[in-house]
Structure 1
Amino acid sequence: MTWKHLSLSVTGKSHSDRNEPGQDYCRAGSIRISDRDFFIGITADGAGSTTNGGIGAEIACESMYSQILSSIHEGKAISSVTNDDITEWIFTAREIVVAHAKQNGQRVKDYACTLIGVVMAIDNSLFFQIGDGCIVFGDKTGYSTVFWPEQGEYANMTYFVTDDDFREHIRIDHKETPPDEVALFTDGLQNLVLSFSSRTVHEGFFRPLFAALRSEPGNECQSLSAHLAALLLRDDVNARSDDDKTLILAVNIPTS
């Protein structure tokens, strides 16, 4: 089994109208070590009220990706990764964000960001999340969420890696087998592709995208990425959500 994937972020109209950079970030990769195949997907969303949330998101994602990749290279099996291991990865990523803020004479909350991640191998998969956004996985029975987006007391409130009580909001799940398909996305997409009234997934959005990803020749997926970016930047989409939108898609491909 190997993994084909794509990842992209588009800047929301709320930022582009003010000539501001987007505050989402993502990192994804398919890795083969000896005869073992892995997929890592990480995304984060900088808090809209911050000055440097996008930088915090980038630091958190790159730190998580690097730590997970190091564990894989050291030969650690995904099935042996514990909740304490994942919490330690997140703590380390947070400490790097904190150090960056202090080095620049700024407040830690100026770098506030959510964090979502998946790690998949042939015999196991793990998922973790702080804050809103979502992970959707698909198999022969349909599509489901791993965790529902966690929002606070008010509609636009959520939780961040940089919060003092971040450990209380870490959600972790393990599955003995990897899903056939997985998507990670930030909160700019969640109201478009999830039904909050029934807590279900809009399969009509994901099913054709995963099918297109499977059929895309090679591993670059440039045509599909361009098509998807154009879709997420359409006026009718921005009218429903003017926030940044980040999406990672991955499908497992059987190998002979």
Structure 2
Amino acid sequence: MATVSNHWRVFGASVTGKAHLDKDIPCQDAHAHAVVNGVLVAIVCDGAGSARYSEHGAQFVAAHAVQALAGRLEQGATVQDLQDGALAGTLAQIRAALDDIASAANATLDDYASTVVGVVMGKDSGFFFHLGDGLGVAQLGDGGELISLPANGEYANETYFISGERWREQLRLLAIPQAVRGVVLMSDGCMPFAMSKNNASLYAPFMDAVQGYLRTVDSVESGNAALASTLADPRTHQITGDDKTLLLALRT
């Protein structure tokens, strides 16, 4: 039986979509990750297009949630501890800190609205955590995929945000009960070309090429640069005008 490595190589890029380039609006996506004792913590956030400071909200939530969860792991928390309640407690603290920032800026929490799709993955098990749209895929050792799907509201263009009053009931956890070869997180801007029809699986012609290339690069920096230029390719503009974030964590 093959042993699962406890080491990760993590690549990520957030690029501005055509709709924002045309209006000179900054990218409202963000991503962050950390690895603590072989446990991967990674997050992708997508700021609401309608919210004034959503790029700051996305950046703050991604960076600080990863930092806080990594801190808990460093202090001895297990993956199961996080899944059993520490994750929700951490997000509550991040949300409260964001509320303080909003107050200081004479703004509201809704001005910093952002979705969250994240993963905590240990050697043999882990879980996705998800608020709103975006998507997560765990590539299982047996070749299968476990997918954390986007959640939209009653209308197609509506979704849920960490700033929402009912965020706790909209927070979804999905257990990953076995070892994985890799984990992919993405904002909804990547889904049209990174996922197959109906989000049933990763779109192999695109994702196999990307992952195959990333497995060969000398450095994470060069991999990140290649990933960013792939996502920024003008050919994607025909598919989506949205900002695009893709984070790939590969077992080495």
TM-score (norm 1): 0.90
Find the aligned partners of 1:200 and 1:27 in 2 and give their Cα distance: 23
Structure 1 range deviating more: 108-117 or 22-31: 22-31
- Give deviations 1:111-136, integer Å, cap 9, x for gaps: 11001111222233121010000001
Equivalence for 2:131:
130
CA shift, 1:145, in A, is 4.4
Q: Which runs of 4+ in 1 moved over 4 A?
A: none
* Structure 2 SS opposite 1:201: coil
Q: Would the aligned equivalents of 1:114 and 1:132 in 2 still touch at CA under 8 Å?
A: yes
State whether structure 2 residue 87 is matched by structure 1 residue 82.
no
What is the 5 A alignment of 1:14-163?
Answer: 14-31=19-36, 36-142=37-143, 144-163=145-164
Equivalence for 1:216:
217
Find the aligned partners of 1:97 and 1:170 in 2 and give their Cα distance: 17
CA shift, 1:188, in A, is 0.7
CA shift, 1:245, in A, is 0.6
TM-score (norm 2): 0.91
* Structure 1 SS opposite 2:249: strand
- 2:186 maps to a residue whose letter is F
Q: Would the aligned equivalents of 1:181 and 1:210 in 2 still touch at CA under 8 Å?
A: no
Equivalence for 1:11:
16
- Give deviations 1:87-146, integer Å, cap 9, x for gaps: 111111111111111111112111110011112222331210100000012134445343
Equivalence for 2:188:
187
* Structure 1 SS opposite 2:114: coil
1:202 to 1:94, Cα distance in 2 relative to 1, 3 A: same
Identity of aligned residues (%): 28
Find the aligned partners of 1:40 and 1:92 in 2 and give their Cα distance: 17
**Unpaired segments of 5 or more residues in structure 2?**
1-5
* Structure 1 SS opposite 2:174: strand
CA shift, 1:60, in A, is 1.1
Equivalence for 2:3:
none
Structure 1 range deviating more: 179-188 or 71-80: 71-80
- Give deviations 1:20-71, integer Å, cap 9, x for gaps: 211111112233xxxx322221110100111101111111112211211111
1:194 to 1:88, Cα distance in 2 relative to 1, 3 A: same
Count of residues in correspondence between the two structures: 247
What is the 5 A alignment of 1:234-253?
Answer: 234-253=233-252
Find the aligned partners of 2:162 and 2:72 in 1 and give their Cα distance: 21
Q: Would the aligned equivalents of 2:34 and 2:70 in 1 still touch at CA under 8 Å?
A: no
1:239 to 1:143, Cα distance in 2 relative to 1, 3 A: farther
Q: Would the aligned equivalents of 1:40 and 1:117 in 2 still touch at CA under 8 Å?
A: yes
CA shift, 1:201, in A, is 2.7
Q: Would the aligned equivalents of 1:4 and 1:213 in 2 still touch at CA under 8 Å?
A: no
Find the aligned partners of 1:178 and 1:147 in 2 and give their Cα distance: 16
* Structure 2 SS opposite 1:98: helix
* Structure 1 SS opposite 2:11: strand
* Structure 2 SS opposite 1:81: helix
Find the aligned partners of 2:119 and 2:138 in 1 and give their Cα distance: 11
**Unpaired segments of 5 or more residues in structure 1?**
none
